[in-house]
Structure 1
């Protein structure tokens, strides 16, 4: 990766919990089911065996992906941000557009982004435009639909 994969402690915990659940619970159950199905004889028409093998490959791919993400992750606790007057990783930012419509966004790691919940990935266009901004600053965000200008109305960090 050419840039750091920042993630919050909560986001890292969620990745680890998903990894642990797949590795310690779901995968062993599936291996047991496959072994049982293999013992039933003809494997070519054995649905439990065929589906189990397919699902096992999916789980192994997911485990591999999660492992790579956790290894590349750089955990950053936004509550420890020394400069709380500017927008950095983990900031919750209230912005207003040209029509004075306000939105509140939290800048999080790309792996924990959820636009519907207001959590925007650190490398998203709007997050890149907001980086380093202070309250009152105007920032132009280049979007596929065209450029939009936003004013930073408020900045907050957890634990503040």
Structure 2
């Protein structure tokens, strides 16, 4: 997957908070593994085996997050309020005049529940660099859609 090197300030804070939370979880799991190991035979000790597996998962996520955070750049550039660029809140309508507002972000922080969409997604790619008033065609899994950009806000 081609990942953007940009992230919003809020997105970076979220990743850093996740690292802190995982470190706290790792301490608890490490203690549980240590306690389970003290019980004796590790080959048939389910708590020990599960704890070791959980530690591998935690360590894998920590490694990924550290590497990813080191490659990301917080986007803080001044941009034109009439163009949909990275970190913009874009309000647009579809053919049925249904309005939607989405924030254009990188793949690391895209979350449709938070109304943020990746610039690598079909809709995100289509909105990127477009201006207020532009009508754009997007091929989605549900078919071809036409969106008209109504407002761009940063």
Task: Tell me whether the two structures share a fold, i.e. TM-score over 0.5.
Answer: yes
Identify the residue that residue 53 of structure 1 maps to in structure 2: 52
TM-score, normalised to structure 2, is 0.92
- Tell me: CA distance 1:128–1:103, structure 2 relative to 1, closer, same or farther (3 Å): same
**Which residue of structure 1 aligns with residue 69 of structure 2?**
70
Task: Indicate the residue corresponding to 1:142 in structure 2.
Answer: 139
Residue 120 of structure 1 pairs with residue 117 of structure 2: yes
Give 1:33 shift.
Answer: 1.8
- Compute the RMSD of aligned alpha carbons: 1.6
- Of residues 104, 107, 110, the one that matches 2:107 is 110
CA contact (8 A) 2:132 2:151 kept: yes
Q: CA–CA distance in 1 between the matches of 2:145 and 2:136?
A: 8
1:122-153 CA-to-partner distances (Å, cap 9, x unmatched) read: 21111111111111111111212322111101
For 2:97, the equivalent position in structure 1 comes to: 100
The answer (yes or no) to whether the contact 2:36–2:45 under 8 Å persists in 1 is: yes
| Aligned position for 2:18 | 18
Q: Could you tell me how far 1:48 is from its partner in structure 2? A: 1.9
8 A contact 2:4–2:107 mirrored in 1:
no
Which of 122, 128, 133 is the equivalent residue of 1:131? 128
Q: Structure 1, residues 98-143: CA drift from partner, whole Å, max 9, x if none?
A: 1111111111121111113211012111111111111111111121
Is the alpha carbon distance of 1:27 and 1:3 closer, same or farther for their aligned partners in structure 2, counting shifts above 3 Å? Answer: closer
TM-score (norm 1): 0.89
- Residue 3 (structure 1) shift: 5.5
Segments of 4+ moved more than 4 angstroms: none
- State the alpha-carbon separation in 2 of the partners of residues 4 and 100 from structure 1: 31
Q: Secondary structure at the match of 1:12?
A: helix
Residues 48, 127 of structure 1: alpha-carbon distance in 2 compared, 3 angstrom cutoff: same
Q: Which runs of 5+ in 1 are unaligned?
A: none
What is the count of residue pairs matched by the alignment? 154
**Residue pair 1:129, 1:139 contacting (<8 A) in 2 also:** yes
